[in-house]
Structure 1
Amino acid sequence: MKVVSFLPAATKMIYDMGLQEYLYGVTFECPKEAADQPKIVRCILEGKNYTSIEIDRIFSASKAQGKSLYWVDDELLASIAPDIVFTQDICEVCNIDTVCTETAVMKLSKQPALVPLSPNNLQDVYECAITIAKALGKEEVALHYLANLQQKTDAILDTLRANRAPLKRVMLMEWIEPVYNCGHWIPFQIAAAGGVDMLSNPAGDSIVTPWDKILKYNPEVLVIAPCGFDINRSREEMDLLTSKNGWENLEAVKRNQVYLADFDMFTQPSIGTLVEGIEALACMFYPDLFVPNEQISRKFINLSSAVFLHQPV
């Protein structure tokens, strides 16, 4: 059986479950485990270093013109002749959508099974792992994988309850300029870590959020994790936020509770990375209760530390 993944999150889960022997092709942005796999899906933004403002403008123009940011290497796809193609239909900015995938697949002489993975909430992402493994005839592998992840989130909740930890008033930003709130499964991640984001859109799309609204909400903890950006990439654009009127008055800034975090823990819906996101959030919300392991500690940083570490000598 030959599988092609048009979705980085699906690729990540395939590797996490040890099913990579079935994988024959991925996208340009799939995780490092798949670095040697043929890249079938490409993007017009690939290899570019546009600012968040420029990326937003490019996407808005592309959407207005009815064009996609992604394209498929038809010859490479045909040479693989996959039996299954995993794709998504949630965000046409982050990944190629099902319509573009269907167009590419229709050109193939042998039609593969098209398996869309379109989670809206955290439970849906858990079920995506089962969908992937079931398509490969390995459902029991997914159940074992998910049971181990569930133990991690259960341990966090047990610690919060044992310490009667109060809910933290949180905001997680999915984009810097313009500012987007968080949506889909991320509000559920925040809740699992002991927080609440009243500006979020649970199980729905993230949307532009006015700065005045953020100032009024006044989060205790602010997490900045723009889609597609790691810590270093986000740090390059922090002046867009810190220069805004009222930044210094935010409770999160006063409390030194502003964090930069790698995007894959939130906007890449692989359940393993999302659980890492929950663990990271718990460490941000309650640093006295939770200490990150070595891997997670590399995926987020307090803004004050980020600024200090990169001051000119």
Structure 2
Amino acid sequence: MKLSLGPLTYCWNKISLFEYYQAIADTKIETVYLGEVICSRRREMKYKDYLELAHILTAKGKKVILSTMTLIESQSEISELKRIVDNGEFAIEANDMAAVNLASDANIPFVCGPSLNLYNRGSLDIMQKLGMTRFVMPYELSRAWLEQVLAQSTTQFETEVLGYGYMPLAHSARCFTAKHHQKPKLDCQTVCLQYPKGLLTQTQESQPLLRLNGIQTQSAAKVNLINQIPLMSRIGVDYWRLSPTGLDDIELVNQIASCQHNELIEITPSHSAIECNGYWFGEAGMQIHQGVTAL
């Protein structure tokens, strides 16, 4: 099973973003997703900047996939989407049905991102006929669901599962980060730059609740499925995805890549993030399942 790095969901300044991906270029991650997936008003990075990064990573032996927006709201975003789909060099991750339709019409193979509602074998078969080569399992589904779907396989496509990182829960046309600063969405002044890991919200009892990231709502806890890598490999998962959060990712990736499967359960991230893994085990998503699945 290979390691992949999902698209950055946060708004970082251009210098920090280039430094991060230049460090990623020296890791053993096989596939890197690039692109703005949350909000077109985050203008730190332009299309040409992502292409420049893509070429840097490709020169280091990485396979680059360009990710598309999750929520398309305007004609200008459609135009940008067409430019990404028609880039002529890199594969794409379709995070919206508009991207699926454009890629299919252009006869371009694509990865189905986790925001597409692919909840059964029938929907996956339809996507494959349209050109899907891989799908990222929706984060709220379980190992049991995935095993059942893969057991029904009559044609082959690749499977990718989020293994570590904050989990997207919902998207909205409203920008919650701008609202927090009492700014209109159309004149937000890119306040997301102030929150490189999103804006953590808490309950009245001061317990972590959610993480606001512009129009996206994330889990307050990080999904951690490091100890499930051996089992995922056995049931047919092709890619284990890490969602970017910072330079701590580099150390974690290097540990995972250098360990044998029977050592993976001993790996613990260097920071003290709250973690969860309930969805994978068919439980409430915020739960943390302590046991290790027998191989």
TM-score (norm 1): 0.26
Q: Which has the higher contact order (CA 8 A, sep 6+)?
A: 2
Structure richer in strand, relative to its length: 2
TM-score (norm 2): 0.27
Structure richer in helix, relative to its length: 1
Q: Which has the larger radius of gyration?
A: 1
